[in-house]
Amino acid sequence: MAEDLEDPREVPWHPRFAPSVVGHDAEIARFHDAIASGRPHHAWLISGPRGVGKATLAYKLAEHVLSLANATQTPRWIAARSHPDLFVLERGFNDSKPRRLRQEIVVDDARRMSEFFARTSGSGGWRVAIVDCADELNTEAANALLKLVEEPPDKALILLLSHRPGRLLRTLRSRCRRLPLAALDQTSVLSVLTRLPLTGKEGVDGLEVAARLAGGSPGRALELRDSQGAKAFDTFQRAKAVSAPVKLAVANHFSQRQAAVQDYETFAELLLDWLAREAVAEPLSARAAALARAHQEIAGSRAVVAGYNLDRRTAALNALATIEDALKAA
């Protein structure tokens, strides 16, 4: 059936459609300078937190290189996934019915990338491969990629994306030039969101909340943009104290039981991140110790809530009561 082949990654705001990269100007300049030199390094490791624009940057760098041979058609071909000199190595579909995306990039996918580089360039210029992302390579696929990086073909560029480069093969990391990306500021995150062809019921206020809570990651902001869990946490974070009206306002975001399951997960994740940051900000203080204990208690109750499918509205009230008690004890 056609729907079995539907790729959940195919959204109107896929990175290959982005008109430009927001931020990361220094990294773009480094790459362009290397290309202009005529002898750029053949493998580049683009690292950074999830959702900060690594894939968008990779597609734009590929477009820059491939446009040297055909500036007119390159952007259109990349957007259509039809450029003959661009290969994207990513997770493929399994053979089950219905077909689903694999959890990792397998060696057969990596071998297709080797076959791509074995062919002659369609334009006589560069051939570019994007590995999105290297964290998902299984052992065999990683070793196949390593062999290609160790013995690169002529006029070949490989752009590897990684959220956690420390977990990659050391030998693979050592053969790549690094392009580490930092998180964006809130204004830049909001700028990315407002440029996207988003659908749904989020308004400007919803996008601003998502940008504020995303930690500099437009990708994370996309996940938060219409989340009641994000709005619940924003209500808590904006409050001056954990009062009864605040707890009630937060809990009311989880009144719809079915939707509350994922919303509470988002809320709990944001709340635990906040507790961790607050505790680290005042190390060795009584407040830090109290908040650390609250973090441990809420993390434990989060697992119980999920395991027994308990009421999320009550769980949110209990989490805030735990924080209220911790702050009073400090």
If one counts every other C-beta atom within 10 angstroms of the C-beta of residue 101, the result is 13
Q: Which residue has the tokens 């988002």?
A: 266
d(CA 208, CA 204) in angstroms, rounded, equals 6
Helix, strand, or coil here: 158? Answer: strand
What residue type is assigned to position 56 of the chain? Answer: T
CATH of the domain at 90: 3.40.50.300
| Same domain as 159, residue 302 | no
The phi, psi pair for 113, rounded to 5°, reads -65, -40
Give the CA distances from residue 195 to residues 13, 21, 78, 80, 164, in Å, rounded to whole numbers and listed in that order: 9, 11, 19, 20, 28
| Same domain as 164, residue 291 | no
Sign of the CA dihedral running 261, 266, 269, 274: negative
How many CA within 13 A on the CB side of residue 10? Answer: 8
Counting beta carbons within 10 angstroms of the beta carbon of residue 44, is it exposed (0 to 12), middle (13 to 18) or buried (19 or more)? buried
For 157-197, how does the pLDDT look when each residue is reduced to its tens digit (9 = 90+)? Answer: 999 999 999 999 999 999 999 999 999 999 999 999 999 98
The more confident residue out of 83 and 198 is 83
| Same domain as 311, residue 162 | no
Look at residue 37 and tell me if it is in a domain. yes
Look at residue 197 and tell me if it is in a domain. no
pLDDT range class, residue 1, cuts 50, 70, 90: very low
Is 285 a residue whose pLDDT tops 90? yes
Look at residue 295 and tell me if it is in a domain. yes
Residue ranges making up the domain that contains 239:
227-329
| Same domain as 175, residue 245 | no
d(CA 279, CA 289) in angstroms, rounded, equals 7
Last residue of a domain, one of 180, 214, 240: 180
For 75-88, how does the pLDDT look when each residue is reduced to its tens digit (9 = 90+)? Answer: 999 999 999 999 99
For 17-42, how does the pLDDT look when each residue is reduced to its tens digit (9 = 90+)? Answer: 999 999 999 999 999 999 999 999 99
Look at residue 255 and tell me if it is in a domain. yes
Q: Any bridge partners for residue 127, and if so which?
A: 156
Look at residue 53 and tell me if it is in a domain. yes
The residue among 6, 10, 21, 28 whose CA lies nearest residue 81 is 10
Look at residue 191 and tell me if it is in a domain. no
Q: Which residue has the tokens 């053979």?
A: 95
pLDDT range class, residue 200, cuts 50, 70, 90: low
For the whole prediction, is pTM greater than 0.75? yes
Look at residue 208 and tell me if it is in a domain. no
| Same domain as 255, residue 109 | no
